[in-house]
Amino acid sequence: MSDEVVTTDAIEPTEIRPSLWKRYSSANPLMIAALAIVLGLIFGAIVIATTTPVVLDAWRGIFDHWDGFPHALNVTFNNVAAAYRDIFTGSIVDPQSFWHSLTTGQNWTGSLTPISETLTYATPLIIISIGVGISFQTGLFNIGANGQAVIGGIAGAVVGSMINLPTFIHLPFSLIGAIIGGMVCGAVPGFLKAYTGAHEVIVTLMFNYVTYAFLLFAVLSTPFQEPGQSNDIGRTIDPTAILSPLFGTSSGLRVSYGVFVAAIVVVFAWWLLNRSSLGFDFRVTGANPLAARASGINAKVVVIVVFLISGGLAGLAGYVQVASTTHYIDGGFLIGTAGIGFTAITIALLGRNRPMGIVWASILFSALGVGGRNMQALTGIPLDLATVIQSAIVLFVATPVLVKEIFRLKKAPTSMITLSTTGWGS
């Protein structure tokens, strides 16, 4: 038996730095997320075309005139373009208004209100979604972030409204109180998961209802209720504990100093996941729990710490929400469509559980929500269209194989495959 001779001609060189074309035509996570957004917008356009009466009337009459078909196409394009233009101008910037302000120095409030509103809604979403993303990267399903945000909001508002301190002490104490409230709420499913094996999805999901009941109790039957009120309204947060508007109250722009809190959280999450030994334990546990145990990582400690961090960030998000907007908590705080904890699950999925990905996903979802209201006011197209687009985007992100087949994407270069861990949603 002769030995086989391996020649260097048979070995293909490994491409360390793929070309731009290979980067943007390959099935890497960033490209799949971008194309999922494109598909979501296309799906939204189809929904507009098939539900708008004027568009349907135009298509019914394509055989009534010689130019019926071009007319129907024109009406369809104009309505879709108007809807997306109104979403953009209502959530980012109206180019005409901005140019007028730039050249005349007037009406800056009107020009900057759209992006201000988008950032106002995105700020708490970024914070709570990062907390959810950290748990997902570890392979844990924190479905109770909304309840943790409620408890954190209550704890922060109690400190912010029932204690009198100077601003430089009062605001940090209120933020810390919110974090502790969220951590206490997150510790319950964490300890149950670590020491009893209880499934975290069931525990966190059901614990939301406990927190909602506690919310009603706090604003109806405790000293936290607004004095002289019989309704479910809590005390108003003192001015020394609120997150003031970034450009001052007189500017009319609601975006607050909470954006700096969100920026600190993003930096912290990046450091935790990519530069700390604890973050390494999180990622290894999420990628391969058996290998993590074999390497000496204490699974119980990881579970508890992850829920403490995730719950603490959710609690912080709850207080940032109330301290930036209403400055008081009522019985409907973060319940129903205002439940940012459930939106955070889809944002973490879209952002691939990575801090910067979550930032962009939060801004996208906030822009669709804020711009959707502007679209409804100007075109009459229901706000539900924004929810349809959000859902379609998440659907396509969750089915990367479908995106690959639709756009015939090639296999991603090796250097771009390891952009995220193999935890849930990555």
Residue 245 near residue 253, CB atoms below 8 Å: yes
Of residues 181, 185, 207, the one with CA closest to residue 322? 181
Per-residue pLDDT of the chain (426 residues; tens, 9 = 90+): 445 554 444 444 444 455 555 555 566 777 888 888 899 899 999 998 898 899 999 999 888 888 888 999 999 999 999 999 999 999 999 999 999 999 998 889 999 999 999 999 999 999 999 999 999 999 999 999 999 999 999 999 999 999 999 989 999 999 999 999 999 999 999 999 999 989 999 999 999 999 999 999 999 999 999 998 889 999 999 999 999 999 998 888 999 999 999 999 999 999 999 999 999 999 888 888 888 888 888 989 999 999 999 999 999 999 999 999 999 999 999 987 778 999 999 899 888 899 999 999 999 999 999 999 999 888 888 888 888 888 888 788 778 888 888 888 777 655 444 444 344 444
Query: What pLDDT sits at residue 306?
Result: 96
Residue 4 falls inside a structural domain: no
Residue 365 near residue 389, CB atoms below 8 Å: no
Query: What pLDDT sits at residue 415?
Result: 46
Query: What pLDDT sits at residue 367?
Result: 93
Residue 118 falls inside a structural domain: no
Residue 62 falls inside a structural domain: no
Number of domains in the chain: 1
CA atoms within 13 A on the CB side of 263: 6
Its pTM surpasses 0.75: yes
Residue 134 falls inside a structural domain: yes
CA distance 55 to 366: 28
Residue 181 falls inside a structural domain: yes
Residue 63 falls inside a structural domain: no
> Which range marks the domain in which residue 173 is found?
124-244+251-362
Residue 66 falls inside a structural domain: no
Residue 415 near residue 18, CB atoms below 8 Å: yes
CA atoms within 13 A on the CB side of 414: 4
Residue 269 falls inside a structural domain: yes
Query: What pLDDT sits at residue 7?
Result: 47
- 3-state secondary structure string, the chain? CCCCCCCHHHCCCCCCCCCHHHHHCECCHHHHHHHHHHHHHHHHHHHHHHHCHHHHHHHHCCCCCCCHHHHHHHHHHHHHHHHHHHHHHHHCCCHHHHHHHHHHCCCHHHHHHHHHHHHHHHHHHHHHHHHHHHHHHCCCCCCCHHHHHHHHHHHHHHHHHHCCCCHHHHHHHHHHHHHHHHHHHHHHHHHHHHHHCCCHHHHHHHHHHHHHHHHHHHHHHCCCECCCCCCCEECCCCHHHCCCECCCHHHCCCCECHHHHHHHHHHHHHHHHHHCHHHHHHHHHHHCHHHHHHCCCCHHHHHHHHHHHHHHHHHHHHHHHHHHCCCCCECCCCCHHHCHHHHHHHHHHHCCCCHHHHHHHHHHHHHHHHHHHHHHHHHCCCCHHHHHHHHHHHHHHHCHHHHHHHHCCECCCHHHHCCCCCCCCC
Query: What pLDDT sits at residue 394?
Result: 79
Residue 41 near residue 84, CB atoms below 8 Å: yes
